[in-house]
């Protein structure tokens, strides 16, 4: 696939060999510092396909803010997207939480570092949408990867509607 056909948004969202490409310049052109190999191009094409047809969106409610970047890297390396809600329920937070639940294929609720209101609201939203709630007391990186792998394999095994 020629690099000139990719838009700047696709370039900024694509992962090649597990590392994100940062947009280079305002036009989103790849700089001279990045020279893709044949394997990198193949992985680039696979990641674009994953992005548009097979990617799963994972939502996390609660947990430590400082862990969000490592969660993002791990989930993106698996070909999925992650969205995080801190669990603070002031202002427009309940609307943001509802949007997270609507967009996510898998919602993980961390109960140890979270408000009671966020846990109850998330569970109520998931119940009203007939979707299971995955509650964990603490969430580490390996636990998140295991949850995403289990859910992705369950989705792949489920018959198409």
Question: Same domain, yes or no, for 44 and 117?
Answer: no
Token pair of 108 as six digits? 């993980």
Q: Which residue has the higher pLDDT, 123 or 158?
A: 123
What residue numbers bound the domain in which 124 lies? Answer: 55-157
Question: Same domain, yes or no, for 150 and 111?
Answer: yes
Gap between the Cα atoms of 114 and 102, Å rounded:
20
Gap between the Cα atoms of 154 and 161, Å rounded:
14
Gap between the Cα atoms of 24 and 8, Å rounded:
9
Question: Same domain, yes or no, for 71 and 138?
Answer: yes
5-60 pLDDT, tens digit per residue, is 444 444 444 434 334 433 333 333 333 334 344 444 444 444 444 444 568 999 99
Question: Same domain, yes or no, for 145 and 67?
Answer: yes
- The DSSP output letter for 31 is P
Contact indicator for 149, 142 with CB cutoff of 8 Å: no
Question: Same domain, yes or no, for 32 and 71?
Answer: no
The residue-averaged pLDDT of 106-120 equals: 94
| Total count of domains within the chain | 2
8-13: long-range contacts at Cβ-Cβ below 8 A with a sequence spacing of 24 or more?
Answer: 10/48, 10/51, 13/51
- Looking up residue 134, the CATH number of its domain turns out to be 3.40.50.2300
Question: Same domain, yes or no, for 77 and 147?
Answer: yes
Contact indicator for 8, 30 with CB cutoff of 8 Å: no
Q: Which of 7-16, 96-105, 145-154 has the lowest mean pLDDT?
A: 7-16
């Amino acid at each position: 696939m020629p690099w000139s056909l990719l838009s700047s948004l696709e370039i900024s969202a694509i992962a090649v060999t597990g590392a994100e490409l940062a947009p280079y310049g305002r036009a989103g052109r790849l700089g001279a510092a990045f020279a893709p190999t044949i394997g990198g191009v193949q992985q680039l094409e696979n990641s674009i396909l994953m992005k548009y047809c097979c990617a799963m969106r994972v939502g996390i409610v609660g947990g430590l803010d400082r862990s969000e970047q490592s969660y993002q890297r791990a989930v993106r390396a698996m070909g999925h997207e992650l969205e995080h809600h801190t669990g603070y329920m002031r202002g427009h937070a309940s609307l943001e939480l509802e949007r997270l639940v609507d967009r996510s294929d898998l919602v993980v609720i961390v109960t140890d570092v979270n408000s009671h209101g966020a846990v109850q609201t998330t569970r109520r939203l998931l119940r009203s949408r007939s979707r299971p709630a995955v509650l964990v007391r603490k969430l580490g990186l390996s636990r998140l990867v295991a949850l995403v792998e289990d859910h992705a394999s369950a989705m792949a095994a489920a018959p198409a509607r």
